[in-house]
Amino acid sequence: METMNQNPWFKVEISKVHENQTVESYLKSAWQFPKKLLHELRMAKGCKINGEAKPWNTVLKSGDLVEIQLFIEEDYGVTPQEQSIEICFEDEHLLVVNKPYGMDTHPNEKGQLNTLANGVAFHFQNKGLKTKVRHIHRLDKDTTGGVVFAKHSLSSAILDSMLSQRKIKRTYTAIVEGNVKLPKGTINEAIGRDRHHPTRRRVSPKGDKAITHYKKIKYISKLNVTVLECQLDTGRTHQIRVHLSFLGYPLVGDQLYGGKQKILNRQGLHASNVSLKHPFTDEIVSISIPFPKDIQQIINEK
């Protein structure tokens, strides 16, 4: 077993931007600590100033060293299961994994195995890291590509907030039937449940707001398919599948939404890039997620 040697304390020097704030207001404004986490941190004496636990109304000065206890041993929340997972990015705060075809992101019932989360739990266990498996978003079982996991509770809270504010940019590569005429476009159609089918969604004026932007990458005349790049302003269930089908260009292999072509045995959709401003380093991180072989073969066609 490889031990991760994760320092439980995250250290940061106070800059002039945050001087004259109290410890509590600094934790709320600079780190977006939710109330529950803030309470837990206070109870655990999980914040030190220049090496000492100080009252939370202490006023900070420029150059003060703040230490925040981020890494607390926790149960994984899912059963660790040995499986091969493809890691596209990892540091001490977050993990991005390439989810394969035919796999759930996380268990849908207690004790379920063979999900991406089970593999992530095994990866953590193998590195000697005891932390809850926290996915920030999900992908459909038959959609491949990048899934973001947080490696501690504060990272999870910040990334959840970033996702809801659309500050995590996810790019999808879609392979659709036919030749999409416009080089780019936006589909702004609300999506709701289809009352005639238990899992299907449909465009419905009474549904939830849903916006999909698409850009044409290439048309492959030999196969009569178009490769599109899509970005979402909202995260509705089956959003890209529903919107592109509504436009008249269903995803290749997506029988639920009208896909007739059999060149794939599932929908041609891959989450191909995740970009975000790193919540702890402020660096812009752009992670490309390799295509599975079946989609790569289609994209390679002339």
Q: Which residues are catalytic?
A: 140
Q: In the chain, which ranges are continuous DSSP H helix? A: 23-31, 35-43, 116-126, 153-164, 239-247, 293-300
Quick check: 180 and 203 in contact, CB under 8 A? no
Query: Distance between CA atoms of 277 and 169, rounded to whole angstroms?
Result: 10
Sign of CA dihedral 76, 79, 82, 83: negative
Query: Distance between CA atoms of 28 and 39, rounded to whole angstroms?
Result: 11
Nearest to 61 by CA among 11, 17, 13, 20: 20
Nearest to 94 by CA among 275, 291, 290: 275
For 14, what's the count of Cα atoms within 13 Å in the CB-facing half-sphere?
24
Tokens 């410890």, residue? 23
Nearest to 145 by CA among 86, 186, 197: 86
Query: Distance between CA atoms of 42 and 47, rounded to whole angstroms?
Result: 7
Helix axes 153-164, 35-43, angle to 10 degrees: 170
Query: Distance between CA atoms of 34 and 32, rounded to whole angstroms?
Result: 6
Return the structure tokens found at 217: 């990458």
- DSSP state, 89? E
Quick check: 266 and 62 in contact, CB under 8 A? no
